Structure 1
């Protein structure tokens, strides 16, 4: 049934929808523009943050390299004496005081001497040395306010800087180089060392200067950055290990242990950093495949995240990735507020439009409701209806048309009743005629639905089932036929016709009410209708079936008689051929005797001819039997017809003489 909208709502809804659509489209455009602005602002903010971080890191990593160049130059200009250990100690001590971001400044020589100054966790500066005076043990001393050694803190024997990784790397590369990030044992913090070889005037390496940079300053800088409201930034190396982050997440797995390992970004304590790292791996496969700055976005717990990743490299071995991630929600607060205001305005506009539409529709609907009540009265059969005019021109035209229609409808209804009665009588006669034709047909006629229920049946079918036509309608064959196999075959035939849409012809059996089995030749035709139905016409072919059975029995009897005849002929041939061959053979022997007179010789010839003719007759009888059995192959053959006639005449003459009859035969040449 088609949904019908009341006129009141048909007047109110379009008016409301227009206002709602105008406000909604305006709001949608505003929101979309806001989202585009958010994307642009987010992209710009990410670029600025990445640029600030890159600039800060560049400044940080430049300082250790500059200090190394200064120290190497001082040695090369003989401003520093590698043999003057106290001067080196105070020199490195003063450099640490000048550069707060540095944690260790040291020097190792080809003679195995090592001198350095280290900033401890409490901010004090310790002096380390390994010389012949210390018997090449590494001693660590605290210092006074002038940089002089004051108290021995620890001593490690057998220390040789030449066998340390930082020294060997500088000696191998021959140029300034950054070490791998490592954990400083004295402070248990991540650090990185810049190493540079020192050469004398002859170009021979005489030592390596090294400056350590603690990554704590990078952490502090990232924490001070304002990345949106809840955004985060972090730095990873190409293996995915965290270098620094803007959160309090631990960069070491077990910071309290001296052998603590660095933490992977995908195992970060920060869910946002962990999700970002996993997304980058899923996107690029490995961190070392990110070679250019990329602006991306992904979803975390249904919330969109703006992401930028940019490489940070230098000529000395720094190869890190700067990652900035900002939740979209940080930029959406104002847009969400605008959305709430828009929804509020839509609701207010909707309410005002609904109230105005209600009063307007009530004024328009009053005359229409009068027309509606009059129409319902006509529908109930009360055709004496008239409606009064209203204040609207269109309603007046509608009222006049309705009154005119009601008058015409009353006249037409009276005429229609007369015509309906006449057509009803004609239809009843046609139905009775069709019923008579169907019931007078000796064939079984029926119409069934897809479930096998009878929709129509004739008298012949009712008689077979021993019931009435009225009793059959609405029931199935199973209600009258006690044989499930027959019923199943009927139902299968019905379904085949309905499913394929093609006529089905079949031979079936039906057990009637008296228990007699009848043979039916049934045709099923699918009927085009809203519900699948099949028309069936079944002819009783029981007499034909019985005739076929009798014919088969007669054929079997004839075949048996023919077989007996064939056996008789075979036996007769054997019984006759044996003595006949003896007679013919004896006659041939007698013909060879020289003492026979002509009369006896002529008689012997007649015996031979008669025997040969009899043998030919036996062969002909056997040939006829073969022809009947369709086993004889006839082939044309030439023979002497006069001689054949003479032989027949001679045999006939002998039989005639035995009967006392004169027989004479002659032929023309």
Structure 2
């Protein structure tokens, strides 16, 4: 049998394979690709239109909730402006709504007199801030007051703006709401204050006599749609945009072009297609034979494709209407034909050239193939010699089609990478430890087994005033203790403390001195470390001067509460009880008894706050006993029977002062609701504390039904109780069981801020 050279067989086979494949594939590929890409371009535009429409619906779903909010504003009777109190309540209400609904840009109220009340998001002074704008017309003329607040409603700044010319009665949202006399959506326009495009949902508000009080408006910023459209990739150089049916452009990748300034007064409006300064969009719009209704708005019932020329280039465009008739918007997309056909035309020419070039390259590759078999083996040999000399710099370049050679090369590469990574990790750890110790606020000191200092970080220099160079090799206790102290004796005592604290995470406090001889209270902790067979201690010292000062302030405040306010309330309570016992006038007696009861409640509140301030320990049995006594006296004073049952897991962690106080307030609010509204004869309180949860049921026999529950659900008392439950991470629910059953479940987890667990508790 004739033998042939593997080298020439590889070369000839490679050339035949390349030529045959190109002669078959190139012609058919060109025509198929042209047809597919033409169809694909339309699919791209349709998909982009669908994606844009879906994003718009998702964004404007917020508008639907805003419409419901507007209805709530109209029916809640908070829209009043007759007094300062009314304005304050209105501001609080608007502020709460913006905090609850983050998708709203602002809420405002305009009156027929031109008064205007506006609360909007404002980041000019602080992130997540708010701004209130109040325009009033009074005897002294027109005033415009601005107030900036943070997210906690704290006032940051106030200002007057006499140059403000805003008149709500001239705005589209006000006029349309008055004309339609119901909740309306405005066409997109430029917001006066933020100078950003948006829409407004507005509705008129009337008093009981049917007179117009004003119009409530809710702003929804739609600039996000322009941001979304700007991120869309439409071919290589295509674009998407959105039109209102009146011809205004409402979304475009360059949002600055949407805003057109007219006249010296600085008035603005949304740009039309011609004002957008985009000749391609202008041509695309002009290429369509639009149909208009009697109001001059474009009519488009289904997606429309169009083709046009602009500056010698052909484009394909698509216009798609929104399916929801409430949104009279149209999505436009255009793509240059060259984006998807130009490459094919250019590729057809290049393929012929490539065929010739690839044939030559294939020949060269075939000749190099034989040498490529031995090259990985040589590379592995060189890399192994370099590693043997501890030289990790050379990279193993071994890429073989043979499995055995490649697996060996990969194993060498992994071994080399592991060694390099380990060395790099050691270097990074060293840098990290150096950065941590040099930037830490606490003093970090390394001492040897003779208590001599071998490391002294910058924080130690700041706390004690000694430089690192000065203290190196000195005894730590002689350095940070006063010469007046018995250093040897106290140093031995502290060394014993260190041995006990080692690696425990605990700390102890004592008085140290700095370089100036000033005594400073410090917190001292230590951890054991072995370096090259020798024992060392890592000492962490914290300056607790500020903490001690705060503890003294809290202690003084507790004493003031107890001796001052608490003493006065006790005297008032005793005087009220004495006079109630002496008086014969029934009405005076009831008043005095109420005064005594209020004093008792206030004293209990003060005691709760004192427990929080001085960190006094609270346990479940004492808390339950105090709660039983308070509830019994409260209900007895109103002629309502009371019984209380509880189940307590003896292993449950102690409650924090905050948890105990908030639970007391929740129960007190529930009893107040029963006294005022339930007309009950008997109340039962059940509390189960099983270590994992606190379950509370407050049941009365007032005969509440499902309708009562629905009314109570939105009552101020229930809302307050529910808010406190949420603050504690719990839930509140209402049930009708021959009366109202308020059920509260609070999760109790060891280590949470609501519990205080000793080691023996856990």
TM-score range, shorter chain: 0.3 to 0.5
The higher-RCO structure (CA 8 Å, 6+ apart) is 1
Structure having the higher Rg: 1
What TM-score do you get using the length of structure 1 for normalisation?
0.42
Q: Which has the higher helix share?
A: 1
Pick the structure with more strand per residue. Answer: 2
